[in-house]
Amino acid sequence: MVKLAGPCMSLEASGKLGGALVFTRWKGRPCARTLVTPANPKSNGQVSVRSMMKWLSQQWKTIGAPAQGTWDDRAKITNISPFNAYCSYNLFRWRNFLAPTDSFPEAVTDVAPVEGVLAAVASERTITVTQPITTANDGWGILFFRSPTGTFASGYDNLKHVGLIAATADVVLIDTPLAAGTYYYEIRSVTKDGQLGGASAEVDATVT
């Protein structure tokens, strides 16, 4: 990546150039980088990162000012916004199969939620996976993992969706569109302070 004083005769240049360069801003500074196209934008790793990033972006608005304020000092170290500090730190944690946290540093004192029995029901090209919540406690989210084979280990590379725990409402994944076949699911809970729960019993459903 190259920092620029005035790219393309403009301090605010953005976008692609000749299918080779991208002009953008990084940490508030104009810069240019090589245009990179993922070889497989729907790889397991790509899906996992996008699912977690979507979750983080959605929850930033809801965690409240006190939790948001804990990211200020970390943001100042690298001259980025508190939101970017929260996202980058939590994505780093996720790549190491650690749960996200709403505050920095993570306190690791929260009480995990109590979950009911996981269920999966198939319909046309769709499987609905439902996780009942018996007691929310300090639960923040439910991580849904999927595998094409049974007896699998939930991990960074098979996350499909993150759902919000809202009191005792069911947390649901609607997995679609799916090709014909049998799919296997597990869940893990996460607390607001970055604790990752154990894997649930595995369930499966078959799309015909």
Per run of 10 residues, the mean pLDDT along the chain (length 208 residues) is: 54 62 68 63 85 96 96 94 97 96 93 97 97 97 97 95 96 97 98 96 96
pLDDT at 23: 73
The pLDDT assigned to 154 comes to 95
All structural domains of the chain: 2-34 (no CATH), 44-95 (no CATH), 114-207 (2.60.40.10)
pLDDT at 2: 47
DSSP assignments along 43-72, one per residue: SHHHHHHHHHHHHHHHHHTTS-HHHHHTTH
- Per-residue confidence (pLDDT) for residue 7, from 0 to 100: 55
Whole-number Å distance between alpha carbons of 161 and 190: 13
Cis peptide before 177 (omega within 30 of 0): yes
DSSP letter at 85 equals H
Alpha helical stretches, state H, the chain: 44-60, 65-69, 72-77, 82-95
- pTM of this prediction exceeds 0.85: no
Q: How many CA atoms lie within 13 A of 101 on its CB side?
A: 18
Question: In 3-state terms, what secondary structure has residue 119?
Answer: strand
Sign of CA dihedral 58, 186, 139, 75: negative
